[in-house]
Amino acid sequence: MSKSKKRLLIFFILSFIALMMMTYQYKSQNKGHSIFRETFSYPFNAVNSLIASARAAFNIHWNAVEENKRLKKEISRLLLEMQGYGEMAKENERLREILSLKPQMRNYATAARVISRGNDRLLKTIILDKGSNEGIRKDMAVITTKGLVGKIYKAGSSFSEVLLISDPNFSAAVRLQNTRQEGILSGTGRSYGILKYIPSEDAVEKGDAVVTSGLDGIIPPGLLVGIVTDAKKDETGFFQDIKVMPFQSMDKIEEVVILKK
Amino acid sequence: MNYLKWLSFIFLAFLLQMHFFPFNQRLNLTVVVVYVFGLKSLSSQTRTYGFSSMAGTKSALFGACIGLIEDILSGAIIGPNFFSKGIIGFASTAIFSEVFFQWTRFWGGMALFGITLFDGLIFTGLRVLFTNLHINDFVFLQGIAAPAVINAAFGIIFRPRQ
């Protein structure tokens, strides 16, 4: 067989197999290779887990002294604050009783450690060291102490993947904390997100906090998301162009908490 | 021994790709692995048999296997990397025997730049076509242009066997 014919044949075989596989997965909604994925990703995730543990141990040792000093200061500050919060919590409870409202529970599922960034180069994801064995399910909200991080995109048996709020495929129902105006927050691929569907006539100020509204039925309401850094009113459009900077930097996530729906 | 060397090379490439993000950019080192395999197998096959079509087939298979692993690890649709890496495997055996004819540092860098760019375009195109993926200009540039620029440096280093 001549060289050019052989080339054509290789190209044809590769195209045929790839197109067959992709068409099949497209029709079956991309199900059926999770076993392969678990098998292939296991050695990488195990090594990632080891690296994350070693890195954490190194960081703990390195920062121990300074951390200790900082924590002592923090404890004394928090003790003072706690006295105030205790009073506020009691007052809050009393007011809730008056309004016949049940105290809202944060639907804690589990806490997990970030072991690496995701392997999909077109998605902004992170890999967690816990999976469905620990109760993690698809679409559960993922937060840190600073605010919303993303939602569970894929849940394997012992590892799971989080779609970060900075990814263009991420959307969440949110509201502005002060004005209670509802909108949709979408990722942009950059460090900030875009708050959509806020009418041009509504007043939005720089520094306004954005929280989840819970109206998407996926992410619980009241979670801190970010802060408005820029709000532009389009003369011709119906909605404003609002940039939101997440409270949690997406490059500095180490531990997260997963919440049930 | 050779198998072990390549296995370690592949594992290291995947691992580095997962952990190192220079200038917050994602690496695409699997392209480099496939390209280097193509270059090396071309030389050994040419030396042994005097023709390169066998090396092409071998490299295309190698590339397709690497792409398949990458597709499986990504957790997304299987096929885009399989296809693009397979083509790259084949192309990398021909690039210095039939396109540029002679390897120089400049053409090495340019070849890997072009190959990475090609891989990114095919991968992104197929992903957008076969999944409901949203990408914007920024993600597009990050996913395609940046790895191509980084990989060009590897093109300067890796050369065919003399």
Q: Tens digits of per-residue pLDDT, B68-116?
A: 988 888 878 888 999 999 999 988 888 877 666 678 889 889 999 999 9
Dump pLDDT digits (tens) for A193-213. Answer: 999 999 888 888 899 999 999
Q: Which residue has the tokens 């199900």?
A: A31
B48 touches chain A (CB under 8 A): no
**In this predicted structure, what is the pLDDT of residue A85?**
72
Q: Which of A85-94, B24-33, B93-102 has the lowest mean pLDDT?
A: A85-94
**Residue among B72, B80, B90 minimizing CB distance to A37:** B72
Band (A192; pLDDT cuts 50, 70, 90): very high
Q: Which residue has the tokens 């928090």?
A: A78
- Long-range pairs of B154-159 with CB within 8 A, sequence gap ≥ 24: B154/B32, B154/B35, B154/B112, B155/B35, B155/B108, B155/B109, B155/B110, B155/B111, B155/B112, B155/B113, B156/B105, B156/B108, B156/B109, B157/B108, B158/B32, B158/B35, B158/B36, B158/B39, B158/B108, B158/B112, B159/B39, B159/B103, B159/B108
Chain A residue numbers touching B64 (CB-CB < 8 A): 14, 17
Region A239-248: mean pLDDT is 91
Band (B62; pLDDT cuts 50, 70, 90): very high
Region A11-37: mean pLDDT is 74
DSSP secondary structure string, A167-225? STT-EEEEEETTT--EEEEEE-SSSSEEEE--BTTS---TT-EEEE--TTSSSPTT-EE
pLDDT: is A120 or A93 the higher one? A120
Band (A102; pLDDT cuts 50, 70, 90): very low
Whether the complex's predicted ipTM is more than 0.90 is answered with no
Tokens in use for A211? 């929280």
Query: How far A134 CA lies from chain B's nearest CA (Å)?
Result: 20
Compute the count of residue pairs across chains A and B with CB atoms less than 8 Å apart.
Answer: 121
**In this predicted structure, what is the pLDDT of residue B18?**
80
Vertex B56: Cα angle to B55 and B58 (nearest 5): 65
Beta bridge partners of A142: A150, A258
**Residue among A6, A119, A122 minimizing CB distance to B18:** A119
CA distance B116 to B149: 9
In chain A, residues 149-178 whose CB comes closer than 8 Å to chain B: 154, 161, 168-169
In chain B, residues 90-149 whose CB comes closer than 8 Å to chain A: 90, 123-124, 126-127, 130-131, 133-136, 138-139, 142-143, 147
**Residue among B70, B77, B142 minimizing CB distance to A189:** B142
Band (B154; pLDDT cuts 50, 70, 90): very high
How high is the mean pLDDT of chain B? 84
Region A167-180: mean pLDDT is 92
**Residue among A47, A122, A190 minimizing CB distance to B124:** A122
CB contact under 8 Å between B60 and A189, yes or no, is no
Query: How far B68 CA lies from chain A's nearest CA (Å)?
Result: 10
Alpha-carbon torsion, ordered B88, B56, B68, B37, to 10 deg: -80
Dump pLDDT digits (tens) for A121-164. Answer: 888 999 998 999 989 999 999 998 888 999 999 888 888 999 99
Chain A residue numbers touching B79 (CB-CB < 8 A): 18-19, 21-22, 25
**In this predicted structure, what is the pLDDT of residue B99?**
66
**In this predicted structure, what is the pLDDT of residue A255?**
84
pLDDT above 50 (res A98): no
Tokens in use for A156? 């394997």
Chain A residue numbers touching B77 (CB-CB < 8 A): 22, 25-26, 30
pLDDT: is B44 or B2 the higher one? B2
**In this predicted structure, what is the pLDDT of residue A3?**
66
Instruction: Determine contact, residues B52/B93, Cβ cutoff 8 Å.
Output: yes
Chain A residue numbers touching B131 (CB-CB < 8 A): 26, 30
Query: How far B77 CA lies from chain A's nearest CA (Å)?
Result: 6
Q: Which of A31-35, A57-61, A155-159, B100-104 has the lowest mean pLDDT?
A: A31-35
Minimal Cα distance from B13: which residue of A? A44
Beta bridge partners of A244: A193, A228
**In this predicted structure, what is the pLDDT of residue A174?**
94
CA distance B86 to B119: 10
What type of residue sits at position A201? E
In chain B the first and final C-alpha atoms are separated, in Å, by 21
Mutate to test the interface with A, among B73, B97, B128, B142 (most CBs of A within 10 A): B73
Region A232-242: mean pLDDT is 82
C-alpha closest to that of A144 among A49, A64, A224, A260: A224
Query: How far B93 CA lies from chain A's nearest CA (Å)?
Result: 12
Tokens in use for B23? 């200038």
In chain A, residues 99-128 whose CB comes closer than 8 Å to chain B: 116-123
**Under DSSP, is residue A240 helix (H, G, I), strand (E, B) or coil?**
strand
pLDDT above 70 (res B55): yes
Band (B52; pLDDT cuts 50, 70, 90): low
pLDDT above 60 (res B59): yes
**Buried-state track A27-42, b at ≥16 Cβ within 10 A, e below 16:** eeebeebeeebbebbe
Region B42-56: mean pLDDT is 62
**Under DSSP, is residue B48 helix (H, G, I), strand (E, B) or coil?**
helix
